[in-house]
């Protein structure tokens, strides 16, 4: 007797669309203005967060949310781009491991790119009625 398409799902669709729009805007602007993919930006961000300015591939995958193989190749491509924001180095104490570290140049690039990102996020977060996204779905259509 229930409505087969409950408003719960419509909420998800809305959230989905909202997320996709922001993601696409970030991707487009980072690429155009900083020659960075969004995921490359994430990598720089998570590296910069660490005081040692470096992370194992393993830790990067978890943070960014990619598979092990995808992250391995992402970092490879990123380093191969030759923009010098990133370095790979075999771990001395465990020579299976690979450390990826961000360079000074990388931190500067990150800071510049972060300005763009923050600007976009500020605008998007403002222009959208966020509360309605997460009003209790049950209470919207009785």
> Could you tell me the smallest distance in angstroms from the CB atom of residue 44 to its own copies?
11
Of residues 35, 97, 121, 127, which one binds its own copies by CB under 8 A?
A: 121
Q: How many residues bind DNA (CB under 7 A)?
A: 23
Distance from C-alpha of 137 to C-alpha of 133, rounded to nearest angstrom: 9
Angstrom CA distances, 91 to 52, 100, 105, 108, 117, stand at 13, 10, 22, 25, 32
Of residues 57, 85, 86, 110, which one binds DNA by CB under 7 A?
A: 57
Q: Which is nearer to its own copies, 91 or 130 (CB)?
A: 130
- The pair phi, psi for residue 86, each rounded to 5°, is -145, 145
Under the criterion CB under 7 A, does residue 22 sit at the interface with DNA?
no
- The pair phi, psi for residue 129, each rounded to 5°, is -75, 90
For residue 14, give the 3-state DSSP assignment: helix
Q: How many residues bind its own copies (CB under 8 A)?
A: 31
Under the criterion CB under 7 A, does residue 52 sit at the interface with DNA?
no
Report, in this order, helix, strand and coil percent for the chain, each rounded to 5.
Answer: 65, 10, 25
Q: Which is nearer to DNA, 11 or 88 (CB)?
A: 88
Residues in the site for its own copies, rule: CB under 8 A? 4-6, 8-9, 11-12, 15-17, 19-20, 22-23, 45, 48-49, 65, 110-111, 114, 117-118, 121-122, 125, 130-131, 133-134, 137
């Amino acid at each position: 007797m229930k409505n087969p398409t409950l408003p719960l799902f419509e909420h998800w669709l809305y959230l989905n669309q909202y997320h996709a729009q922001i993601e696409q805007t970030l991707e487009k602007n980072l690429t155009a203005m900083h020659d960075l993919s969004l995921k490359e930006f994430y990598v720089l961000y998570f590296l910069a967060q660490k005081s040692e300015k470096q992370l194992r591939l393993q830790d990067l995958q978890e943070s960014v949310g990619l598979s092990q193989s995808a992250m391995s190749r992402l970092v490879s491509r990123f380093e191969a781009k030759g923009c010098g924001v990133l370095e790979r180095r075999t771990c001395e104490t465990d020579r299976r491991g690979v450390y990826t570290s961000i360079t000074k140049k990388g931190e500067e690039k990150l800071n510049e790119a972060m300005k763009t990102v923050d600007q976009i996020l500020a605008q998007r977060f403002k222009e959208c009625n966020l509360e309605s996204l997460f009003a209790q779905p049950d209470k919207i259509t009785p």
